[in-house]
C-alpha cells in the first residue's frame, strides 16, 4: 500500500459559530484524482483551502507530502510551493501580463532566472493552448482563457498536487469545455488532483475517487463506478438525482 | 527573520493582552518622555489650576470659568454655522443640479473658489475685506466665513445624496403622474436623507474642528480662551492638552454617533 | 446621468438680480462709507522691485513667501507620504500592537482642530525636540556647502530650524490623512489577490510587494494628488507659528502698507491659481493614465 501524500485526520474548522468542517479524515495517494462534490455550503471549498492553509484549521492534523501544517511559516510556504491551486474567480494579477503572471512565483519563490522561468512558462502556455496570448493583460482575455492561464500559472511552480476550487463555476457554458479539456489532459499525465466541481461528466471521466460532503462532513467516499450507480447514503442519492436530472 | 522576532510577531498577532500591554508600555514611554523633557526645562506642572478654568469657586459662590465660556462660544458658533451651512449647501446643490446657466455657473464658481483657497486666507479675506465693507462684527464674520467654507462640502454631500437615489425612482414617479416637486418631496428626499445623514454628521465634526480657526481673528472661542490663559499663566501643556481633550470629546462622541447611524442605515437596507 | 438642456429661465433672473444687488451694495459701501481708494501699484514692489545698488530685478517678500509655500508643499507631501505608507501598513498589519498605535495616531490627529494640533506640536517641538536633534547647530554651521545647500533647499539659514519645525508639524498632520488613503487603497484590492499570491507560494512580503502594492498604487494616486492640493492650502496655517510663507508675508505686507483689500484679494487669487492649476494638471494626468491603461 502506497503512503498517502495528503493526510487529513479529524480536521475541524469553525467560522465564528458556524462549523464549516466537522471531524474530516481523508487520504489522497500520489497520482490519485479525487473529485469532491456536495451542496453549496457543505465545506468542500473550505476543506481544500485548508490543504494549502488559505484557511487555518482549528483542530485535527493535516499532513502534505510529509510536512505537517502548523503555524510554522516556513512549512506553510514549502507546502504551498508543492501545491498548486486554481480558483473559481481565476484571481489572475490584473496589473501583470499573462507571461508576468506565470513567471512571478518561480522567480520570487524558486529563485529562477527570468529566462529559465519564461521558458517554463511558455511550455505551459503551449500546453493550455494559448501561447499567442502571452503578452496580453488578463482583462483582454475571455473567461475560459483566463482560467487556463490560471492553471498554467500554478503548473509553473511544478507542483506535485493541484487543487481546483470550482474552476468552471464562473464561466459561460461555451467556455467550460476548453478548461475541462486542459484538466483532463493534466489528469492523463498523472497529476495528483483534488477537484471541487459540479461537472459530473468530468468526474466520471477522470476521477479515481469520488467524495461527497454535506454539512461539513464527509458522507461518502467511493470509486465513481459504485458512486454513481449505487450510492450508499440517502443524501448522496438525493444530491445526485438533483444534479443529474438536468 | 530570527526566531525570537518571529515568536514575538506571532504573539502580537494572537494575543490581545500581549498587544495591549505593549501598547500601554509604548504610550507610557511617550508620556514619560514629554513629562521628563518638560521637567528638564524646569517646567512647573499646575494641573491643580485646571478645574478653576471650568468652574471657579470664590467665597462660596460659583463662577463660570474661562474655558467653559470659550466652549460656550464654540458651541454657539457651531450651532449657527450648522443651520446656515445646510441652507447654503442646499441652495448650492439645487443651483448646480438646475438647468439654469447662471445658477450653475454661480454654484460651480463658488465651489471652485472655496475648494482652491485656504480656509485661513478666506478668513482673513472676510475679516479684513468683507466685514468692514458690510460692517459685521467678529463673531458673525467667523460664522459667515465658516458657513461659506463648509457650505461647499455640504453642497456636494446633498448633491451626491440626491443623485444616489436610483433613476428608476424618478421614472416611476413620472410614470404615476407626479409633478417634479412632488417627486422630490415624497420620493427622492425621503430616500436621500438616510444616505446623507452620516456624511452630514461628519461635516459637523469638521465644523467643530475648523471653528478653532476663528481664534485668529480673536473671537473668544475655546481656542482663544486657551491661548489667553496660557499667556496669563504659562501653563502651556496643561491648557493645550485640556483644550485638545475637549475638542476630542466632542468630535469622538459625534463620530461614534456617525458609526451608529451608518450601522443603522446598513441594517435597514 | 441624463444631460439636461441648460437654458435661461426664472432662476437666472433671480441669480443675476441678487448678484447685481450684492455688487452695487459693496461698491457703494466701499466708495461712500469707507472712503477706500484702491491703489494696486503700492503692492507691486512687494513682489518684485529693482535693486537700487545692482540695478537688477529682485524678488521680494511675496515671492519669497510663495517659494516657501511651495517648498512646504513639496517636501511636506514626500514626508507625509512616507509617514502615511508606514502607518497605513501598520493600520492593516496582522500585529495588533501596530494596529493600535496607528489607529491612535490617526484618530488623535483627525479629531483635534488643525490649529490646536499645530500649536501643541510646535510648542513641544520647539522646546524639546529641536534642541535634541541639533537643527540649530546645523543651521549655524560654518561650512559653506551646508550653508549653500540650506539656502537653495530651504531658504534663509537663519530661519532653518523654524522651517523644519513647520515642515514636521505639517507632515505629521497630513500623514494621518494619507495613512487612511493608503489603508483604503490596500484594502480595496480583492481578497482573491492575496489568496492567489499565497497559493502560488509567495511569502507575505512578496505578495505585498509584487501583487498588492502595484495595484494599490493606482488607487492611491488620485486621492494622494488631491492631498497635495490640501497640503498647499493647509500650509497657510503654519503662518500662525511664524513660518514665513505666503499667508505670513501677506499679513506683514498688509500691516506695513495698509493696502489691505488689495493684498488679501491678491493672496487669495494666488492660492487659487496654484491650486486650480494643480487640479487641472492632475486631472490631465489621470485622463492620460486611464487612456494608457486601455
Q: Are residues B229 and B145 in the same domain?
A: yes
Smallest CA–CA distance, residue A25 to chain C, in Å, is 23
Is B191 inside any structural domain? yes
| Distance in Å, alpha carbon of A42 to nearest chain C alpha carbon | 21
Q: Of B237-241, C27-31, C94-98, C234-238, which gets the smallest average pLDDT?
A: C27-31
Average pLDDT over residues B65-74: 91
Whether residue B205 lies inside any domain: the answer is yes
**For testing contact with chain B, the best of C113, C180, C233, C245 (most B CBs within 10 A):** C113
* Integer Cα distance of C67 and C71 in angstroms: 6
Arithmetic mean of pLDDT, A107-131 = 92
Nearest-CA residue of chain C relative to B210? C113
Q: Which of B4-8, C119-123, C268-272 bottoms out in mean pLDDT, i.e. has the lowest?
A: B4-8
Cα gap C24→B14, rounded to integer Å: 69
Neighbouring subunits of A (3+ Cβ pairs under 8 A):
C
Whether residue B38 sits in one domain with residue B72: no
User: Which other chains touch chain B, taking contact as 3+ CB pairs less than 8 Å apart?
Assistant: C
Residue for grid cell 490623512: C177
Residues of B in contact with C260 (CB under 8 A): 128-129
Q: What is the pLDDT of residue A120?
A: 94
| B249 in a structural domain | yes
B254 and B147 within one domain: yes
User: Does one domain contain both B159 and B30?
Assistant: no
CA distance A232 to A226: 9
Residues 6 or more apart from C3 whose CB is under 8 A from it? Answer: none
Q: Are residues B167 and B238 in the same domain?
A: yes
Distance of alpha carbon B40 from alpha carbon A139, whole angstroms = 62
Residue B248: its chain C contacts at CB < 8 A? Answer: 108, 111-112
At A109 the three-state DSSP class reads: helix
Q: What does CATH list as the number for C63-293?
A: 1.10.3720.10
Predicted confidence at residue C163, as pLDDT, reads 86
Judgement on whether residues B28 and B80 belong to the same structural domain of the protein: no
Q: Say whether both B18 and B67 belong to one domain.
A: no
- Grid look-up 475541524 returns A12
pLDDT of the residue at C94: 86
Axis crossing angle, helix A114-127 with helix A98-109, rounded to the nearest 10: 130
pLDDT at C2: 45
- Residue pair A220/A211 in contact (Cβ under 8 Å)? The answer is yes
> What residue numbers bound the domain in which B22 lies?
3-43
Q: Cell for C258?
A: 495698509
pLDDT in tens, A68-114: 988 888 888 889 989 999 999 999 999 999 999 999 999 988 899 99
Residue in C197, C198, C200 nearest the CB of A154: C200
Q: Are residues B17 and B68 in the same domain?
A: no
Same-domain status, B31 and B111? no
| Distance separating alpha carbons of residues B138 and C28, to the nearest angstrom | 22
Confidence of residue B7 (pLDDT cuts 50, 70, 90): confident
CA distance C26 to chain B (A): 7
Verify that B19 and B144 share a domain, yes or no: no
* Chosen from B27, B91, B117, B253 to mutate, greatest number of chain C CBs within 10 A: B117
Cell readout for C207 is: 505578495
Report yes or no on B101 lying in a domain. Answer: yes
Burial track C45-74 (b if 16+ CB lie within 10 A, e otherwise): ebbeeeeeeeeeeeeebbebbbebbebbbe
Measured between CA atoms, how close is B158 to chain C, in angstroms?
16
Residues B94 and B135 grouped into a single domain: yes
CB contact under 8 A, C113 and B212: yes
- Measured CA to CA, the distance from residue C153 to residue B77 in angstroms comes to 41
Residue C241: closest CA among chain B residues belongs to which residue? B216
Asked whether the predicted pLDDT for residue C57 surpasses 70, the reply is: yes
Give residue limits of the domains in chain C. 63-293
Top pLDDT among B177 and A229 is at A229
Question: Is B248 part of a structural domain of the chain?
Answer: yes
CA pair distance B221, C120, nearest whole angstrom: 17
Q: What is the ipTM of this complex?
A: 0.88
Question: Tens digit of pLDDT for each residue in C100-135?
Answer: 999 999 999 999 999 999 988 888 887 777 777 777
Same domain? For B22 and B101 the reply is no
B52 part of a folded domain: no
Task: Report long-range pairs for B229-233 (Cβ below 8 Å, ≥24 apart).
Answer: B229/B53, B229/B66, B229/B67, B233/B46, B233/B49
Tell me the pLDDT tens digit for each residue of B81-120: 999 999 999 999 989 988 888 889 999 999 999 999 999 9
Rounded Cα gap, residues A197 and A37, in angstroms: 6
| Total domains in the fold of chain B | 2
User: What CATH number does the domain containing B138 carry?
Assistant: 1.10.3720.10
CB-based contact C111 B210, cutoff 8 Å:
no
What pLDDT, in 10s, does the model give residues C134-160? Answer: 777 777 777 788 777 777 777 777 778
Q: Residue C74 is placed in which grid cell?
A: 513639496
pTM of the model: 0.86
Task: Answer yes or no: is B148 within a domain.
Answer: yes
Instruction: State the average pLDDT over residues C63-82.
Output: 93
pLDDT band at B267 (very low <50, low <70, confident <90, very high): low
Amino acid at each position: 500500500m502506497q503512503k498517502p501524500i495528503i493526510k487529513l485526520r479529524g480536521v475541524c474548522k469553525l467560522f465564528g459559530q458556524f462549523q464549516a468542517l466537522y471531524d474530516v479524515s481523508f487520504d489522497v495517494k500520489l497520482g490519485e484524482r479525487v473529485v469532491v462534490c456536495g451542496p453549496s455550503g457543505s465545506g468542500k471549498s473550505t476543506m481544500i483551502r485548508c490543504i494549502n492553509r488559505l484557511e487555518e484549521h482549528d483542530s485535527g492534523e493535516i499532513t502534505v507530502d510529509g510536512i505537517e501544517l502548523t503555524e510554522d511559516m516556513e512549512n506553510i510556504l514549502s507546502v504551498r510551493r508543492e501545491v498548486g491551486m486554481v480558483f473559481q474567480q481565476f484571481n489572475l494579477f490584473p496589473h501583470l501580463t499573462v507571461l508576468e503572471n506565470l513567471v512571478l512565483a518561480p522567480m520570487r519563490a524558486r529563485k529562477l532566472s527570468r529566462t529559465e522561468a519564461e521558458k517554463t512558462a511558455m511550455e505551459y502556455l503551449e500546453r493550455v493552448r494559448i501561447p499567442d496570448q502571452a503578452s496580453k493583460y488578463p482583462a483582454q482575455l475571455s473567461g475560459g482563457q483566463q482560467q487556463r492561464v490560471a492553471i498554467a500559472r500554478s503548473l509553473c511552480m511544478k507542483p506535485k498536487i493541484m487543487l481546483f476550487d470550482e474552476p468552471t463555476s464562473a464561466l459561460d457554458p461555451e467556455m467550460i469545455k476548453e478548461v475541462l479539456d486542459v484538466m483532463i489532459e493534466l489528469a492523463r499525465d498523472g497529476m495528483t488532483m483534488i477537484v471541487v466541481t459540479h461537472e459530473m461528466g468530468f468526474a466520471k471521466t477522470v476521477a479515481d475517487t469520488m467524495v461527497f460532503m454535506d454539512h461539513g462532513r464527509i458522507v461518502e467516499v467511493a470509486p465513481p463506478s459504485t458512486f454513481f450507480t449505487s450510492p450508499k447514503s440517502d443524501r448522496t442519492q438525493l444530491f445526485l438525482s438533483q444534479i443529474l436530472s438536468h | 527573520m530570527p526566531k525570537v522576532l518571529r515568536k514575538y510577531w506571532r504573539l502580537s498577532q494572537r494575543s490581545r493582552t500581549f498587544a495591549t500591554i505593549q501598547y500601554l508600555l509604548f504610550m507610557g514611554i511617550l508620556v514619560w518622555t514629554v513629562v521628563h523633557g518638560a521637567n528638564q526645562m524646569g517646567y512647573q506642572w499646575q494641573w491643580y489650576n485646571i478645574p478653576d478654568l471650568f468652574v471657579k469657586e470664590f467665597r462660596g459662590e460659583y463662577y463660570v470659568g474661562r474655558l467653559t465660556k470659550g466652549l460656550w462660544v464654540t458651541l454657539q458658533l457651531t450651532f449657527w454655522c450648522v443651520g446656515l451651512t445646510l441652507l447654503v449647501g442646499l441652495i448650492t446643490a439645487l443651483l448646480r443640479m438646475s438647468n439654469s446657466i447662471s445658477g450653475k455657473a454661480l454654484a460651480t464658481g463658488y465651489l471652485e473658489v472655496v475648494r482652491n483657497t485656504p480656509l485661513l486666507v478666506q478668513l482673513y479675506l472676510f475679516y479684513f475685506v468683507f466685514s468692514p465693507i458690510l460692517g459685521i462684527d467678529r463673531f458673525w464674520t467667523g460664522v459667515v466665513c465658516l458657513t461659506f467654507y463648509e457650505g461647499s462640502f455640504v453642497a456636494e454631500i446633498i448633491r451626491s445624496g440626491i443623485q444616489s437615489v436610483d433613476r428608476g425612482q424618478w421614472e416611476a414617479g413620472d410614470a404615476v403622474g407626479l409633478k417634479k416637486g412632488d417627486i422630490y418631496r415624497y420620493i427622492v428626499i425621503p430616500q436621500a436623507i438616510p444616505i446623507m445623514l452620516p456624511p452630514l454628521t461628519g461635516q459637523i465634526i469638521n465644523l467643530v474642528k475648523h471653528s478653532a480657526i476663528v481664534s485668529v481673528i480673536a473671537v473668544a472661542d475655546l481656542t482663544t480662551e486657551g491661548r489667553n490663559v496660557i499667556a496669563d499663566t504659562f501653563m502651556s501643556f496643561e491648557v493645550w492638552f485640556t483644550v485638545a481633550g475637549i475638542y476630542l470629546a466632542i468630535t469622538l462622541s459625534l463620530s461614534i454617533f456617525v458609526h451608529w447611524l451608518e450601522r443603522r442605515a446598513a441594517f435597514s437596507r | 446621468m441624463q444631460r439636461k438642456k441648460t437654458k435661461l429661465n426664472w432662476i437666472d433672473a433671480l441669480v443675476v438680480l441678487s448678484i447685481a444687488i450684492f455688487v452695487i451694495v459693496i461698491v457703494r459701501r466701499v466708495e461712500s462709507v469707507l472712503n477706500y481708494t484702491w491703489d494696486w501699484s503700492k503692492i507691486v514692489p512687494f513682489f518684485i522691485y529693482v535693486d537700487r545698488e545692482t540695478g537688477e530685478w529682485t524678488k521680494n517678500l511675496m515671492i519669497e513667501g510663495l517659494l516657501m509655500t511651495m517648498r512646504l508643499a513639496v517636501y511636506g507631501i514626500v514626508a507625509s507620504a512616507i509617514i502615511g505608507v508606514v502607518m497605513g501598513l501598520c493600520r492593516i498589519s496582522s500585529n495588533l500592537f501596530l494596529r493600535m498605535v496607528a489607529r491612535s495616531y490617526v484618530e488623535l490627529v483627525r479629531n483635534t482642530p488643525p490649529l490646536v494640533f499645530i500649536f501643541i506640536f510646535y510648542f513641544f517641538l520647539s522646546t524639546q525636540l529641536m534642541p535634541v536633534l541639533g537643527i540649530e547647530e546645523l543651521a549655524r554651521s560654518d561650512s559653506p556647502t551646508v550653508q549653500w545647500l540650506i539656502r537653495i533647499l530651504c531658504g534663509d539659514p537663519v530661519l532653518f530650524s523654524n522651517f523644519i519645525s513647520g515642515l514636521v508639524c505639517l507632515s505629521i498632520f497630513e500623514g494621518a490623512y494619507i495613512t487612511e488613503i493608503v489603508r483604503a487603497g490596500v484594502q480595496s484590492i480583492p481578497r482573491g489577490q492575496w489568496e492567489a499570491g499565497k497559493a502560488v507560494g509567495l511569502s507575505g512580503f512578496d505578495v505585498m510587494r509584487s501583487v498588492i502594492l502595484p495595484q494599490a498604487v493606482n488607487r492611491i494616486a488620485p486621492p494622494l494628488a488631491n492631498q497635495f492640493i490640501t497640503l498647499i492650502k493647509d500650509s497657510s496655517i503654519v503662518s500662525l507659528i511664524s513660518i514665513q510663507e505666503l499667508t505670513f508675508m501677506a499679513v506683514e505686507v498688509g500691516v506695513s502698507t495698509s493696502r489691505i483689500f488689495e493684498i488679501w484679494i491678491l493672496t487669495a487669487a494666488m492660492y487659487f491659481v496654484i491650486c486650480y492649476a494643480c487640479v487641472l494638471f492632475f486631472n490631465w494626468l489621470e485622463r492620460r493614465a486611464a487612456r494608457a491603461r486601455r
